[in-house]
Amino acid sequence: MGGSFGGYMSLLVHGRHPELYKAVVDICGPSDLFSFIDSVPEHWKPSMVKFVGDPIKHREKLTEDSPINYLDNMTKPMLMIQGANDPRVVKAESDQIVEALKDNGTEVEYMVLEDEGHGFSKKENEIAVYRRILNFFDQQIAK
Shortest CA distance to 76 belongs to which of 137, 129, 131, 134? 137
Taking a C-beta distance cutoff of 8 angstroms, is the pair 28, 88 a contact? yes
138 included as an active-site residue = no
Is residue 4 part of the annotated active site? The answer reads yes
Q: What SS3 class is residue 109?
A: strand
Identified catalytic residue from 14, 66, 86, 94:
86
Q: Which residue in the list 35, 65, 95, 118 is annotated as catalytic?
A: 118
What CA–CA distances, in Å, run from 124 to 120, 127, 129? 9, 5, 9
Q: Of residues 4, 35, 58, 95, which has the active-site annotation?
A: 4
Task: Based on the residue annotation, tell me whether 86 is a catalytic residue of this protein.
Answer: yes
Q: Which residues form the catalytic set?
A: 4, 86, 118
